Amino acid sequence: MRYIGPLLKFEIDYQGLYMKRTHLLIAVLFVFGCSPAEPPAPESTTAAPTAELGWDKGGMATAANPHAVAAAIEMLEKGGHAVDAAIAAHAVLGLVEPQSSGIGGGGFMLVYERQGGELTFHEGREVAPAGATIDMFMRDGVVMEFMEAWQSGKAVGVPGAVALYKSAHEQHGKLPWKDVFEPAIRLATEGFEVSPRLADYLPRMAQFSQLAKNPATAAYFYPGGEPLKAGDLLKNPEYAATLTRIAEEGISAFYEGEIAEAIAAAAQAEPNGGTLTAADIAAYKPEVRPVICGPFRALSICTSSPPSSGGAQIMIAGLYDHLSADATSQSDKVAAFVDAQRLAYADRDHYFGDPDEIDIPLDDLLDPVYLKHRATERFAPGAVPTPGDPGLVFDDESAAALWGTDTTEEAAGTTHLSIIDSEGNAVSMTATVEAPFGSSRWAAGFLLNNEMTDFARAVPTDGSRLANAITPGRRPRSSMSPSMIFDDGGDLVMVTGSPGGNSIPAYVSKTIVGVLDWGMSAQAAVDYPNIVARGETVRVEIGVEPGKDIASDLSERGYKVQESEGENSGLHIIVVDPDGLDGAADKRREGIVSVPASD
């Protein structure tokens, strides 16, 4: 069924899982005056009206490491598309920030083509091997502890990042394929200075992971038995060789032959070897999935569909709009933001998974009618949040009974970058190896993911099914949710996203609400204390002002508050202002904002 959004139209068929009702379409058409007679957009994209005026704001890149930003800017200065810059930046991040992402993992890329106004969601999520089983993290009826599962070969899924690169570059890239790898190859060959953040991780990782024990990672990160230190010159000729082969031979060099065999061998190695094979790797295909959009006042939030959790951004913003209607102070608005998260997370946790494998009532969950009703179910501060049932709202068969209580845990080994090029095209890309340094397993110069722990590891004893259960060939649910905001004239307003595991929806929503409702600049919104309200506990970052005041106020209101000295966000956002671009890099990491020299 075709859905006409506030400013963007797109096809959502999604194998019959979405948009079963017409009342959402009618409601949106009534409110925003769009005509259902417009021709449908291509299935893979969301089409927006092309802005009448030319783009005069230049380009910008923001990411978690200066080397990555420099690579992006190099591509932009060569006349590259935002996608060219994003691939170059991420290939560098896999080298200089291996704790967060790399070509041994996966990612999501949301791309905006200003000419023609098309949005495309390129999905490169990791895939469970053919030999995976629903109980592979269970032993004698007891779930394996996360630490043990994380460091096992069972945790390694088929990497999707390189295929994602190719999918996006074929559709959007302007520069030659080999050019986008040049900065990373050069840096891996010549060496780079180890950053303080990478160096700080290594002594801690040696205490509770296999990073200092696995021969390849021990030699690379702990030369001579000592962890690398900030300022050390680090070279990675293996990585340079791998990227060179990908640049010259295409992605078959990665998904077939020696590199694929090395990945499989590392995943199968003891202890706790997994089932990943070279055949699993060769079978990998990236996806182009629907973009989902939802209204926030006169704006549209457009984001990635499942297995992403982008829909949570739409839900949180829509719920916040209702819950904050009577707010008379910033404290009231923060409380409304907390309760919007509690409601949205309960639904996200219950329903979201791989859309190719399960029925997700996403059209219902994002329907403004449901969100208005769901806001009336605001939990008391001391209550334990529970999922809503959109099926009851629409007088359909109950949807809540489909799935059992979610048991998924997500770690925070992820990165995000935001880029706008000189023509106004944009990329919001979030990528991951899951937990820090992934599985600590190494192949051909890079770390392998532990993405299978993003599935629900515990199998319910009551026989209930889980939306995010382990199944061969399935993609695990992800909290990653690269997002963009558009105004009612079709113009780009904001590019946002963050790492942070299960906290990603909260982190990203903070920037959306902060900029668009609280009147903050891009940097002020990123700097504002992170507030994460998933479940019965509200976690508040008190190391950032006014975090202590927020924590105190929420405690007085009756919330169970957990004070946090630091949050692992990595928000990198760009806001389009009338006077130009306002970018921000998260000070909790090592990122910067930069623009091409010509701008």
Tell which residue, 268, 3, 285, has the closest CA to residue 123.
Answer: 285
Q: 414, 415, 496, 511: which is the annotated catalytic residue?
A: 414
Q: How far apart are CA 110 and CA 164, in angstroms?
A: 11
Check residue 113 and report its DSSP letter.
E
Please give the DSSP secondary-structure letter assigned to residue 363: H
User: Secondary structure of the chain: what % helix, strand, coil (to 5)?
Assistant: 35, 20, 45
C-alpha to C-alpha distance for 505 and 322, rounded to whole angstroms:
18
Q: Which has the closest alpha carbon to 491: 6, 3, 2?
A: 6
Could you tell me if 572 and 584 are in contact, meaning their C-beta atoms sit under 8 angstroms apart? yes
DSSP 258: H
List beta partners, residue 293.
302
The 10 Å CB-count burial string (b at 16+, else e) for 563-589 is ebeebbbbbbbbbbeeeebbbbbbebb
If you ran DSSP here, which 8-state letter would residue 470 be given?
-
* Cα(40)–Cα(288) distance, integer angstroms: 17
Count of other CB atoms within 10 angstroms of residue 545: 11
Q: Residue type for 562, please?
A: Q
Is residue 414 annotated as a catalytic residue, yes or no?
yes
Exposure of 460 by Cβ count < 10 A (0-12 exposed, 13-18 middle, 19+ buried)?
Answer: middle
- CA dihedral defined by 107, 448, 509, 19, rounded to 10 degrees? 50
Which residue in the block uniquely carries the two structure tokens 């009851």? 392
Phi and psi based region of residue 357 (left: phi greater than 0; alpha: psi -120 to 50; beta: remaining): alpha
The partner residues of 9 in beta bridges, in order of sequence, read 4, 47
On the 0-12 / 13-18 / 19+ scale of CB atoms within 10 A, 231 is: exposed
Report the C-alpha gap between 24 and 368 in whole angstroms.
8
Region label for 589, one of left (φ > 0), alpha (ψ between -120 and 50) or beta (otherwise): beta
Residues labelled as active-site residues: 414
